Amino acid sequence: MATYKKRGGKPKMPQQQSPEQESVTAEVFSTLDTSAGRAEAWVSRNQNYILSFIVLVVVGVFGYLGYENYVVKPKQEESTNLIAQAQTHFNEALEDLTLQDSLFVLALEGDGVSPGFIKIINSYGGSAAAQIATYNAGMIYLKRGEYDLAIDYLEDFSANDPVLGALALGGIADAFTELNQLEDALGYYRNAANYADNDLTTPRFLLKGAQVALSLGAKADAATLLETLASDYAETPQATHLEVLLAQAQN
């Protein structure tokens, strides 16, 4: 059985304070009263400023929530709905080489009913749909040979997706290659290869970067890129038949 100690004896009477202790106690309470009085006076003098500050904070919070709920979210939903037809034209253009040019025009400029990527970018800046439209527009201009425009749009693209981010950087590198700005191209191929570690984009841009490096005579850079491709991505298609390129880079 559990036991406990019984408290015995009567409660002790409180001891009387000496006159000196009473004096100190009174002084402490007097100081507290004075401080409290000063605080109340300060609040009284500045209550308008305090209330104004509180109102500003409350208005700011509710303003932010209102902006998110009544501006940002509807804008995101509207732009997502509007981009659907332009995206369809873009996808069809990639599959139908015969009608590709005309479908790219519809994707960029709209079809008279639904807006194209350019209008979505200009009207819904900051939305997810505008970002996708920016990427797609850059890729269209790249395929159409309008390399300066391709670079402009792809540089404006901001990606949360690692694959799209790498492809955008690689697209910029492709455009610089076509413009014969090979040093710029090599830098962007490196960035594209390092942007995301995966078997889809990394080996692709390691190989392209190595080929550009060889064209520049930068054999050491080419060898580094090719050796990384051969050792880390040996199972990918880009890693096959590297012997010739490696021999060029190492000689």
> How many degrees, rounded to 5, is the angle at CA 97 between CA 94 and CA 98?
140
Distance CA 247, CA 221 (A): 13
- CA-CA-CA-CA torsion sign (143, 145, 146, 150): positive
Per-residue pLDDT of the chain (251 residues; tens, 9 = 90+): 443 333 344 333 344 444 444 444 444 444 444 444 554 554 455 555 444 444 444 444 434 334 444 445 656 677 678 888 999 999 999 999 999 999 999 999 999 999 999 999 999 877 888 899 999 999 999 999 999 999 999 999 987 888 999 999 999 999 999 999 999 999 999 999 999 999 999 999 999 999 999 999 999 999 999 999 999 999 999 999 899 999 999 88
Which residues, in sequence order, are CB contacts of 175 under 8 Å at separation 6+?
142, 147, 148, 150, 151, 154
Backbone phi, then psi, for 175, in 5-degree steps? -65, -40
User: pTM for the full model?
Assistant: 0.70
**Nearest to residue 133, comparing CAs of 165, 95, 152, 107?**
107
Distance CA 251, CA 30 (A): 92
Domain edges within the chain: 59-158, 185-251
Tokens, residue 247: 């021999």
